[in-house]
Chains A and B, each alone.
Chain A
Amino acid sequence: MSAPAAILPDAPRATVPPPVIPRPLIELERVAVQFGKGEGAVRALAETDLRIEKGDFVALVGPSGCGKSTILKLVSGLLKPSAGNLFVAGREIGAEDVRIGMAYQNPTLLPWLTVRQNVMLPLKIVQPYRKHWRAKRNGEYREKAEALLAQVGLRGFGDKFPWQLSGGMMQRTNLCRALIHEPDLLLLDEPFGALDQFTREELWATMQDLWSTKRTTVLLVTHDLREAGYLANRICVMSARPGRILEDCAVDFARPRSMDLLYTPGFVALTQRLRELIIGVRTAATL
């Protein structure tokens, strides 16, 4: 599949002074998160170390309530760590120029905008696109949105409204909205969780396709081990609350991966091992 994004030159990036040693895009150093204070405090995340290289595709899996989404919120800057250091692109969180795209399970499309207008929303908000919004919204930006929509299989749906789409199509639109501003980092919080099995598998393929052409760094939070195994380069397994990373395993199946991969012995062995790890964690937590 060709890369429609290549039609347009990359947007000029803000100049970041080159770091002396190449550092990973995301670094968590003994980061902990605690909600509340004193007796009633809840430790959501134990001291956690995590490094994600630029261009990597990392999946976070673990039992529910283990702090997977907390890590996403930390990285996106929505949440401040209670302890430890968090660097994104070599800088303390909050001061960075990193562009972030985000997609949740709930597509949260704006019902009063067409699919195309929804996809273009980040261009209206994020610099450097924002300053050319008025001049380019009917030209370059529109074409950019159409190209991205075509890549996820929604060619010709730009003028529809979100409520005219199926759940899978809405989630495709949501992915486009998270990617239109060419983010350095894409954060996915169970984006395919609410879809039926077949739609989900279609979207996995779409996601792999998008990642292969754009090489955006992706951090995916999921419950689905097959999803993690199919999509990610690395899977981090988290313990029960307060969460920490138990195991960090590389997934080195050749790309592009096909759905048949899911039924090969190697893949089954991987998901089985991960499953046992998580079940072990769950039983340990309930004991």
Chain B
Amino acid sequence: MTNILATLRAKAPSTALILGVFVVWEVACLAFGISDIVLPRPSQILATLWDRWPALWPHTYQTLYTTLVGFGWGVLIGVTLGVSIGSSRLAFETAYPLLVGISSIPKVAVVPIFVLWFGAGTVPAVLTAMIICIFPIVVNVATGIATVEPELEDVMKTLKASKLDILWNVGLPRAMPYFFASLKVAITLAFVGSVVAETVASNRGIGNMMMIASSSFNVPLVFAGLFILAGLGVMLYLIFSFIERRVTGWAHRKTDLAVTT
């Protein structure tokens, strides 16, 4: 019981801030008489969400689906690339400039190319989500593996550990905190990717729904789309933070547990 209270107390400021933003928003809209075509009030947006949920659900599902599939492939490819680049200096120095080059392309710009190749619909959204989240994963995993302390590597080498032994026992566990940090970035980026692709070329998904709603000046519905995206993003972020804390607790050490001689 005290635990729950302590958690509540710790979370109280951030919760208060979030609620405060919505309250200020609501009050400001009412006080200044802002039209709901410019900026709808949070209460209007929530009402729209409630009323239109049956129609919004298929779009939500589509966006979640493309994002997660793209993210899954992104993680798979990102980890593979990151491990291979991180475990060899030659590969690191060879591939890194290319990766930086690719990453500096605005991913939005490749959506038309994907549409050209695969047509409008699910595939470009998945691909965009994938390509946008590969880079942070590659860089983080590679960094985690490549920055093993040289002394530790010497110790392992004098034990006649193979490259694979070092990777498995030292490199990969060491890269885990970096990997999870990148996952939290990547999952939010994946949403950006899929929504952008849906906006450009799709007939389903939140991005597409928001495009149609804005062309008919249904601004509360546009904002409802934003709320859904924010909700999904936060939900997935929380899931990955939870897994992160479970898997890499050692990296978030608590000093109060320390013992001294």
Contacts and interface: CB of A to CB of B under 8 A. Distances in A.
Interface in A109-143: 110-112, 121-122, 124-126
Contact residues of B: prevailing secondary structure: helix
Interface stretch (A19-27, A100-108, A265-273): A100-108
A102 B261 contact: no
Given A112-B174, A121-B169, A125-B160, 17 more contacts: A76-B157, A100-B158, A102-B155, A103-B155, A104-B151, A104-B154, A106-B151, A108-B151, A112-B248, A124-B169, A126-B160, A160-B259, A163-B250, A165-B258, A178-B155, A187-B158, A199-B261
Interface size class of B (residues with CB under 8 A): 20 to 34
Given A110-B173, A164-B259, A165-B259, A76 B154 contact: yes
A122 B165 CA distance: 11
A103 B155 CA distance: 7
Interface string A132-168: 0000000000000000000000000000110111101
Nearest to A167: B261
A244 interface: no
A125 B159 contact: yes
A102 B257 CA distance: 29
Contacts of B250: 111-112, 161, 163
Nearest to A108: B152
A55 interface: no
B260 A108 contact: no
A165 B258 CA distance: 7
A102 B173 contact: no
A77 interface: yes
Contact of B258 (A104, A163, A187): A163
A247 B260 CA distance: 41
17 contacts: A73-B154, A78-B157, A102-B154, A104-B155, A110-B170, A111-B253, A112-B173, A124-B169, A125-B156, A125-B160, A126-B160, A163-B258, A166-B260, A166-B261, A169-B261, A178-B155, A199-B261
A-side binding surface: helix, strand, loop or mixed?
Answer: mixed
B249 to A, nearest CB: 9
Interface of B: 149, 151-152, 154-161, 165, 169-170, 173-174, 176, 248, 250-251, 253, 257-261
B154 A78 contact: yes
A220 B260 CA distance: 27
Nearest to A130: B165
Interface of A: 73, 76-78, 100-104, 106, 108, 110-112, 121-122, 124-126, 160-161, 163-166, 168-169, 177-178, 181, 187, 199
Contacts of B154: 73, 76, 78, 102, 104
A161 B258 CA distance: 9
A102 B170 CA distance: 17
Contacts of A166: 259-261
A108 B155 contact: yes
A181 B160 CA distance: 12
B259 A100 contact: no
A2 to B, nearest CB: 23
A170 to B, nearest CB: 11
Contacts of A122: 159
Contacts of A181: 159
A124 B155 CA distance: 14
Contacts of B253: 111, 161, 163
A163 B155 CA distance: 20
4 pairs of A and B residues whose beta carbons are closest in the complex: A108-B152, A104-B151, A76-B158, A112-B250
Contacts of B159: 100, 122, 125-126, 181
Nearest to B251: A111
Contacts of B176: 112
B150 to A, nearest CB: 9
A200 to B, nearest CB: 13
A169 B156 CA distance: 21
Contacts of A112: 173-174, 176, 248, 250-251
A167 to B, nearest CB: 9
A187 B253 CA distance: 31
B257 A164 contact: yes
A155 B208 CA distance: 64
B181 to A, nearest CB: 15
A134 to B, nearest CB: 15
A162 B253 CA distance: 10
Contacts of B257: 164
B149 A108 contact: yes
Residue among A100, A108, A178, A181 with most chain B CB within 10 A? A108
B30 to A, nearest CB: 53
A77 B151 contact: no
A165 B259 CA distance: 6
